[in-house]
Structure 1
Amino acid sequence: MGKLKYSLLVLLGGFSYGLLSTVIKLGFVDGFSIQELIGGQYLFGWFGLLFIVLFFSRHQVSKKQLFTLLAVGTTMSMTGICYGLAVEKLSASIAVVFLFQFTWIGVLIEAIANKAFPGHDKILSIIILFIGTLLAGGLLEGLAKNFSISGMLFGLLAAVSFAFYIFASGRVATNVPTYTKSFFMTTGASVIICIVFPPTFLTNGVLQAGLWKYGLFLGLFGVIIPIVCFSIGMPKIDTGLGAILGAFELPTAIVASITFLNEAVSAMQWAGIVLILIGIITPHYLSLRKEGQKRRNVA
């Protein structure tokens, strides 16, 4: 039951990320640039975590832990930057398909790090997820011809950096309290964001003109909730399973794009979403069945 609780937290983190592409698209409609939206996201996310740390988690970290967490934060920032640029060039439902490739990349990273071949349950889940991705992204319906090459590239780069973030967040500074760990990782990410996207919105009046609404939402669902959830949940489950659970981001993004952006989704894409949900559930079902068999054998 304990593992299920941590798995649900990782699932919640994936759900939160799934909302971002739609909100960013809505920000574009209101005239804000990707630089302003991503900058606002990390501004509000950083201050939110700073508030939490000051009031709930004053914990000192060693210099080694500090630099490690700041370094992990760079994978967060690269995910945010690359994914934002992908959303700028692709539809919200398609951009998340490319980011979604972090599932099999995460399993591959875990296999290399552990020098062990993935279990049959994960392989089966990845196969189901891969087929679901092809269907949900409309890749089997000829939609690929309309894709931006640079958008696809940015989406895949986001997937690689996100897979490394999930891998690292479950392995570094595991004895540091969740809120403190999340704050320092976000600090590292925010520094990179400010270098790549200078925060001119702080002085040109854009923040007061409405950017704050998007920054607040993106900071909550794109920084605070997923980072805290991954920081708590990932150390308790393995990287491969974490990547699979994070796949809940894809159906969330597609449903959000339908609801708020009126993006068309075909029956085949809906079938892909169902397959993705099956792929997420599969490793848990097989794990529970295996544990039940062991208990019966012992009895």
Structure 2
Amino acid sequence: MHKGFYAFIVFSAGACYGILSTFVKTAYAAGLTLADVSGMQCLFGMLFLWLSAILTVRRIPSFFQILSLAAIGIPMALTTIFYYHSLESLSASLAVVFLFQSIWMGTAAESLIFKKLPEKKQLLSIILCLTGTLLSAGFLDEGADFSFSSGMVWGLLSALSYTAMMCASSLLGKGIAPALKGALMSTGDTLLTFLLLPPVFLLDFSSWPLLLPYGFLLGIFGVALPPFLLAWGMPHVGPGLGSVLAASELPVALVMALLVLGESITPIQWAGIFLIGAGIVAGNIKNS
């Protein structure tokens, strides 16, 4: 298939994460906790992916492949945990700015892994996307109050773990069905999440009527679709361009906040969304 198709697949994976933020904010407003949201998200997502894998996969990978793909779940789980930690002390807009440092981290990782300098179009894409991220996250509105906090460290760690997940997904498991690859990745994600955040909600049956709807939505958009789409598209686009394409999370999150949560988006933020779109096009223009 045309490389532009796989670029759209990775773009869609980022968009899933953008949709997810609205569901998470709604879940917190309903009284759910970090352990509830994270646990139900990874549990439902893992079940969805394994159901898909069982129905479609015919070839079983080697033990090493199974182990290596499950290990990708480690940065998957850490990205969520680090990012939610950053939100405890940072505003949502500033936390997103730190998470989106994965854009330049992805290109840097690609340069180190493949021992090559970034192309000019990648550098231009990074500049446009980072500038757009700062604008669309409303960073300029808060720039006057920029004091150091531990949340900034958590935010950078979330970007680092997200980059590690993107790189590992692009390098490991080539030739394995995306459904099975995603299922194995989500299994590692679930195991680590349950280890760090014990799933006590599983024993509280009275909370299930509230948890199950959110678990379904978060599982689909937070776990099932993103790794499936990344497993499908990342091997064809690489971690550098892939990190840029996955930046679609931010404009999608802002649009969802506008339409569903009723939040306002300023002209500066719309300008940022435009720059991010321009950056994505710049990074993929030869493949369009």
**Mapping 1:40-189, distance limit 5 Å:** 40-143=40-143, 145=145, 149-189=149-189
CA–CA distance in 2 between the matches of 1:268 and 1:151? 25
Superposed CA deviations along residues 91-140 of structure 1, whole A, max 9, x for unmatched, are 44443332222111101110111111100000011011111122112222
> Mean alpha-carbon deviation: is it higher for 262-271 or for 223-232?
262-271
Matching residue of 1:297:
none
Unpaired segments of 5 or more residues in structure 2?
A: none
2:277 paired with 1:256: no
> Mean alpha-carbon deviation: is it higher for 61-70 or for 26-35?
61-70
Superposed CA deviations along residues 258-294 of structure 1, whole A, max 9, x for unmatched, are 2333333322122111111111111222x259xxxxx
> Mean alpha-carbon deviation: is it higher for 251-260 or for 87-96?
87-96
SS in 2 for 1:135: helix
Superposed CA deviations along residues 215-246 of structure 1, whole A, max 9, x for unmatched, are 11111001111111100101111211111100
State, as a whole percentage, how many aligned pairs show the same letter: 37
For 1:121, give the aligned amino acid: K
Query: Do the aligned partners of residues 249 and 198 (structure 1) sit closer, same or farther apart at CA in structure 2, a change above 3 Å counting?
Result: same
Q: Compute the displacement of 1:80 (Å).
A: 1.7
Unpaired segments of 5 or more residues in structure 1?
A: 290-299
For 1:229, give the aligned amino acid: L
SS in 1 for 2:191: helix
**Mapping 1:201-280, distance limit 5 Å:** 201-205=201-205, 207-280=207-280
CA–CA distance in 2 between the matches of 1:40 and 1:77? 13
Superposed CA deviations along residues 163-191 of structure 1, whole A, max 9, x for unmatched, are 11111101112122111111111111110
CA–CA distance in 2 between the matches of 1:156 and 1:282? 25
Matching residue of 1:292:
none
Question: RMSD value over aligned CA atoms?
Answer: 1.9
CA–CA distance in 2 between the matches of 1:46 and 1:147? 39
SS in 2 for 1:118: coil
CA–CA distance in 2 between the matches of 1:26 and 1:148? 28
SS in 2 for 1:67: helix
Query: Do the aligned partners of residues 54 and 144 (structure 1) sit closer, same or farther apart at CA in structure 2, a change above 3 Å counting?
Result: farther
